[in-house]
Chain A
């Protein structure tokens, strides 16, 4: 069974540009969540999608948005990039909303904003 796949693995952008990151969850998983990870902040929750609906959102500006498609694949978009957006962006999926359901993470997209 294939794991969570994130593309691209690395990305370099300049300030003011926009970027779209992609995440393919484990087959059959309906929940996809996104996280930003920086060395000093740890994992920061961005948002979670379940069956194409955004169910929960973290404390990030509106420049960060996402969506989920009918096949559960998800994309995250960041507009008007800032230097502080440089981070590892992780996507995770889980099959159900059961309380003991664990997250399966992808390897992340390392975004560098110059």
Chain B
């Protein structure tokens, strides 16, 4: 069964600290993995995409990693800011039956405190 599991479910950190969010998936066939950021009351916004051949990709203070062998991805946030408080959703794409199917993780809710 195709699944995407994220951990932790929620996280509280102090402003300026780093944190790492985890995403484990059992999706086959695998096309790509994308991290989305969702602010409260808004729709998710794409942060970064990882394909099978990519190990690391950065977007400002956000760095995503992918280990296709262990089927794990992480999102590392450096020098956190109050505006990083949001939910982070891991989404894995699987091309099957002639179209893309997206499998969503439940998300990690991050709270950055001053």
Residue numbers of A with Cβ under 8 A of B are 4, 33, 35, 41-45, 50, 55-56, 90, 92, 97-103, 105-108, 110
Number of interface residues of B (CB under 8 A): 24
> What total count of A-B pairs have CB within 8 Å?
57
Contact B46 A99 (CB under 8 A): no
Q: Which 7 A-B pairs have the closest CB atoms?
A: A105-B43, A42-B106, A99-B31, A102-B46, A43-B104, A42-B107, A105-B44
Report B-chain residues with C-beta under 8 Å of the C-beta of A107.
41-43
Report B-chain residues with C-beta under 8 Å of the C-beta of A55.
99
Which of A43, A50, A99 is B93 in contact with, Cβ under 8 Å?
A99
Which of B51, B91, B105 is A100 in contact with, Cβ under 8 Å?
B51
Contact A102 B102 (CB under 8 A): no
> B24-64, CB under 8 A of A: which get 1 and which 0?
00000001101010000111111001010000000000000
Which of A42, A50, A100, A103 is B32 in contact with, Cβ under 8 Å?
A100
Contact A90 B31 (CB under 8 A): no
CA distance A65 to B95 in the complex (A): 24
Contact B102 A45 (CB under 8 A): yes
Q: A42-B89, A42-B106, A56-B101 are in contact. Are A99 and B95 (CB under 8 A)?
A: yes
Contact A99 B32 (CB under 8 A): yes
Which of A35, A99, A106 is B100 in contact with, Cβ under 8 Å?
A99
Report B-chain residues with C-beta under 8 Å of the C-beta of A108.
41-43
Contact B43 A97 (CB under 8 A): no
Closest chain B CB from A106 CB (angstroms): 5
